[in-house]
Chains A and B, each alone.
Chain A
Amino acid sequence: MKAGVVVFPGSNCDHDCYHVLKHVLEVDTVFLWHKERDLKGVDFIVLPGGFSYGDYLRCGAIASHSEIIDSVVEFAEKGGLVLGICNGFQVLTETRLLPGALLRNRDLKFICKNVNLVVSNVNTPFTRFYTPGEIIKIPIAHMDGNYFIDEKGLNELIENEQVVFRYCSETGETFDDANPNGSVDNIAGIVNKKGNVLGMMPHPERCAEEILGNMDGFHIFNSVKKYLKGGI
C-alpha cells in the first residue's frame, strides 16, 4: 500500500495526516503537490484539512480547479480510495465527487471542539472497524461545515446508505442540540455511491495515536490499510 497526501497552498493538516499514515500505521506515504498531475503510484489519497487558497471564492473552490484534482477525479472514478477531511471534504463537494455543499456554520462562528458521532454505515472501506450505531468522539475545527443538500438529494443519500457519520449526543441521539453547525440531518460525513470516496468534517488524524488519549480516528486509516491489503 502507498498513500498520498495532497498539499495545496494553505493546507495545514497535511503533516498530521502524513504522520499518522507514515509513523503510526507505518504505511509508505508521499506528499502530492497541487501543481503535479502524477499520483506517484499511490492507492489511497487524502485531501487534508486547512484553508486552501485562503478559502477565497468558496472553501475548496479554487483547489478543486488545480492540476492534481484532474488526476484525483480520474483515480476516484476508477474506484481509487479518497478521503477528504474538513477542507478536503469541501474540495470533494466542489469537484462534485461528492454531492451537496458546505455552507457557513449556522451560528457564523468557527467551532473547534470534540463532537460525538454515530456511525451509520460500516460497509465502506473506511469504516470496517466500527460497529453499526457505534458512538465515537472526533474533533471538529471549521467555519464552513454546515452540510447542505436539497431534499431529493438527501433522500438519495439515505436510500443508498451514503451517510456515514452523523453528529449526535453522548448517548447517540441525533437531535438538533447535538448538531454543531446546522448540517442537514446532522450529517458529518458521506461517501459517494460507489463507497470509495469519503468526505467528513471531523478530523480523524487528530485522534489516531495513543499518546493523544483518543484513538477513535485511527480506525478509519487502519480500515483503509486492511482493505487495501485484502484483509477485510
Chain B
Amino acid sequence: MKIKVYVKLKETVLDPQGEAILQSAKRNGYDFIDSVRVGKIFELEVSKTENLNEKIDEISKKMLANPIIEEYSIEVGE
C-alpha cells in the first residue's frame, strides 16, 4: 500500500525559498501567481500492520515533520 505524507512550512513561518521562486516567476511574466510555498512529499510503501493510521500520524509528527515549524497531511492510497 502507498501512503503520501505532505510537509510544508506553517503559514506563520516565512518561506524564503518560496519567496525567491515567487519573485523569479513574476519576473518571467507569471504575474498572476500571488504566493509560493515550498514543501516536500514522502512516498511510503507500507505493508499491513495494526493501527496503521496512528502509526503514520506518529512518524509524521515525530520524524517527517517538525511541528514547531511545519504542518503535514497524510494521503492513504491503495
Chain A residues within 8 Å of B, Cβ to Cβ: 57-58, 61, 65, 93-94, 99-101, 103-108, 148-150, 182
The reply to whether B20 and A94 form a contact with Cβ atoms under 8 Å apart is no
Secondary structure dominating the interface of A = loop
Contacts of B13 in A (CB 8 A): 103, 148
Residue of A nearest to B67 (CB): A101
Contacts of A108 in B (CB 8 A): 16-17, 20
Nearest-neighbour CB distance to chain B for A48, whole angstroms, equals 21
C-alpha spacing A100/B69, complex, angstroms: 8
Contacts of B12 in A (CB 8 A): 150
Contacts of B17 in A (CB 8 A): 104, 108
The reply to whether A107 and B63 form a contact with Cβ atoms under 8 Å apart is no
Q: Which of A65, A104, A105 has the most CB of B within 10 A?
A: A104
Interface bracket on B: 10 to 19
**A-B pairs with beta carbons under 8 Å apart, 23 shown:** A57-B63, A57-B64, A58-B66, A61-B63, A65-B63, A94-B66, A99-B68, A101-B69, A103-B9, A103-B14, A103-B69, A104-B17, A105-B16, A106-B14, A106-B16, A107-B16, A108-B17, A108-B20, A148-B13, A148-B68, A148-B69, A149-B68, A182-B14
Contacts of A101 in B (CB 8 A): 66, 68-69
Contacts of B20 in A (CB 8 A): 108
Q: 8 nearest interchain CB pairs? A: A101-B69, A101-B68, A108-B16, A101-B66, A106-B16, A148-B69, A58-B66, A104-B16
Binary interface encoding of chain B residues 62-78 relative to chain A, with 1 for a CB under 8 A from any of its CBs, else 0:
01101011000000000
Contacts of B16 in A (CB 8 A): 104-108, 182
Nearest-neighbour CB distance to chain B for A53, whole angstroms, equals 12
Nearest-neighbour CB distance to chain A for B63, whole angstroms, equals 6
Contacts of A106 in B (CB 8 A): 14, 16
Nearest-neighbour CB distance to chain A for B13, whole angstroms, equals 6
Q: Given known contacts A99-B68, A101-B66, A108-B17, what 13 new A-B pairs fall within 8 Å (CB)? A: A57-B63, A58-B66, A61-B66, A100-B68, A103-B9, A104-B16, A104-B17, A106-B16, A107-B16, A108-B16, A108-B20, A148-B68, A149-B68
C-alpha spacing A18/B17, complex, angstroms: 36
Contacts of A99 in B (CB 8 A): 68
Nearest-neighbour CB distance to chain B for A157, whole angstroms, equals 13
C-alpha spacing A150/B64, complex, angstroms: 21
Nearest-neighbour CB distance to chain A for B61, whole angstroms, equals 12
Contacts of A65 in B (CB 8 A): 63
Contacts of A107 in B (CB 8 A): 16
Q: Which of A65, A93, A103, A150 has the most CB of B within 10 A?
A: A103
- Tell me the residues in window 1-15 of chain B with beta carbons closer than 8 Å to chain A beta carbons: 9, 12-14
